[in-house]
Amino acid sequence: MHNIDIDLVEMTLDVTKYVINRITKTDPELGMPKKEEELKALVGETITAKGIGGENAFQKWKDVLVKAIVPIDHPRHLAFVPASPTRSAIMFDLITSASCIHGAYWMEGAGGIFAENEAMRWLVSLTGMPEGAFGVFTSGGTAANLSAMVTAREHWRDQCEENKAYKGLIITSIGAHSSVKAMAKVIDAEILLVPSEDILTYERLKETIDGLDELSKKRLFAVVATGGTTNAGIIDDLDGVATFCEEHHIWFHVDAAYGGGALAADSVRHLFHGIERADSVTIDPHKWLFSPYDCGAIIYKHPELAKKAHSQEGSYLDIFKDEGAQGFNPAEYQIQLTRRVRGLPLWFSLAMHGTDKYKEAIERGIELANIAGEMVRNNSELELVREPSLSCVLFRKIGWTPEDYKEWTYKNQREGFALVTPTKWKVGETYETVARFCFINPDTTEEDITAILASMN
C-alpha cells in the first residue's frame, strides 16, 4: 500500500490538479444532498476485497459525491455560520496531513506544535487576557466548551470537599449555543437558562441567582456568556458578567466560537470589553478566522488548572512527560489525546498574509452585514428584526409564513443559487420565523445580496 509506484505518482498529480482547480474557483458549484439510496445507485460498490482503483474512486467523487455537497465557501452561502478558508491555509492543510504529525505531545510534534503556538499567541493577544494565559487548538467550539467546562467543574470540586457531592450548576442564556447545553449533559451538570436572547447582563444574572435556593447557590460553579450569539451576533455584557463571577467566586467562560474572529476588527472590538477578565474563552478559527475544518480553540487564564483537569495518566504515556521531552503538550489542556496539529494551517496562513489581512477580511463581513441591513431598510416589503450585529442580519418579509421561508430556502438551493436558511426569533413568549444572513466570506458581493433579496419576490 505504501510502495511508491507510477500509479501513485500520477494519482498525486491528478489530486494536486484537482485541488488547484478547486481553490482557484471562487464560485464553486452549490450542490444538493441526495438520498443515500440514490447515491448508492450512482456510485455502486466501492469497498471491495481487491479495491476499485484510485482513478475509478476519484472519478466517482468528481462525478457524483462532490455534487451532493454545499461548499461552505460559496459566496452565496449565508446560512448557519458559513466559512471561507484561505487558499494558503487549505494548501497547508494538505501539508499537515502529508507530514504525519502526532499533535498530542511535544516529544513527537514539537515543530508543528511550536507553529500552532505562535498562532495561539496571536489569538490570546486578541483577547487581552493577562500574562500566563494560553490555549490549545481543539476540533471545534463544542470540544473547546467541553474542555473549559470540565476544567471549571474540577476546579470547583477541588476548592471544597463538599462540592464533590453536588451536581454542578451553570447559568447561561437562551442565546447560548446548543453545544453549551449538550456539553453540560456530558459532564452531568445542570443548566439554568436566563430566558432572553438579548444581552446577558449583571442585573439579569443577579435576578436569576436571587431566585435560587441556598443549595442551588452552592452548586453554581460557572457562567457561560456568549461573545457573538450564533443566531444574531449578540455580545453579552462581558464586563458585567465578569464582575458578577468575581463577586460569587465562580468560573467565567466566554463562548466566542463564532464572534471571536471579530476581536481583530477595530470597529467592534469595544463590544467585547471584559473578555480579558474571563477564566476561559472559546474561539473557532474554522468560523471567522478562515481556517479549514476543523479548528477550534480554548484559551485559559490559568492553563495549569486545565492541565490538572485533563492530563492523562498511563504507564506508556509517562515518557512524554519526561525531562527529555520538555515542551508544551496540547493533549494535557483539552479532552482529546491523539490529535491533528490543526492550528498549523492557520499558522501558515497568518505567517504568509500577516494579521492586517485578517483584520480587513473580518471587517468586510461586518460591512456586508451593514450593507444588507441598509438594503432591507430601503425595501418596503422587508423589515429588520433588529439592527445587524457583528455579521448577522435578521429580517422579515412582511406577510410571510414559516412555510414561505422554507420554500424560499429550498428553491434557492434546488436552483444551485444560494443557501440561505430561516431562523427563529423570540418575541415575548412566542417565536417568529425570520430570514437570516451570516457573512464570513469576503468574496460575497453587494450584487449577491441584491440577488438573494430579489429571490424573495
Ligand X SMILES: *Cc1c(COP(=O)(O)O)cnc(C)c1O
Of 123 and 453, CB closest to ligand X: 123
DSSP 303-326: HHHHHHHH----GGGGGGGSGGG-
Of 141 and 166, CB closest to ligand X: 141
**Least separation in angstroms between CB 70 and ligand X:** 16
Of 140 and 303, CB closest to ligand X: 140
Of 256 and 453, CB closest to ligand X: 256
| Stretch (H or E) spanning 432 | strand 430-438
CA distance 335 to 186: 12
Torsional sign, CA 35, 68, 453, 262 = positive
**Of 146, 320, 133, which Cα lies nearest the Cα of 222?**
146
Of 258 and 328, CB closest to ligand X: 258
**Least separation in angstroms between CB 35 and ligand X:** 25
**Of 283, 286, 256, which Cα lies nearest the Cα of 349?**
286
**Least separation in angstroms between CB 9 and ligand X:** 36
Under a CB-based contact definition with an 8 Å cutoff, are residues 56 and 63 in contact?
no
**Least separation in angstroms between CB 142 and ligand X:** 3
**Least separation in angstroms between CB 161 and ligand X:** 33
Under a CB-based contact definition with an 8 Å cutoff, are residues 145 and 180 in contact?
yes
Under a CB-based contact definition with an 8 Å cutoff, are residues 299 and 334 in contact?
no
Q: Count Cα atoms within 13 angstroms, Cβ side, for 279.
A: 29
Residue with the shortest CB distance to ligand X: 141
CA distance 231 to 180: 14
**Of 29, 75, 69, 67, which Cα lies nearest the Cα of 452?**
75
Of 258 and 300, CB closest to ligand X: 258
Q: Where are the beta strands (DSSP E) in 230-279?
A: 251-256
Q: What are phi and psi of 132, to 5 degrees?
A: 100, -20
Which residues contact ligand X (rule: CB under 6 A)?
Answer: 81, 140-142, 145, 177, 179, 226, 230, 255, 257-258, 284, 296
**Least separation in angstroms between CB 178 and ligand X:** 8
| Stretch (H or E) spanning 300 | strand 296-300
**Least separation in angstroms between CB 262 and ligand X:** 12
**Least separation in angstroms between CB 258 and ligand X:** 3
Under a CB-based contact definition with an 8 Å cutoff, are residues 398 and 383 in contact?
yes
Of 197 and 284, CB closest to ligand X: 284
At 195, list the grid cell: 430566558
Of 73 and 255, CB closest to ligand X: 255
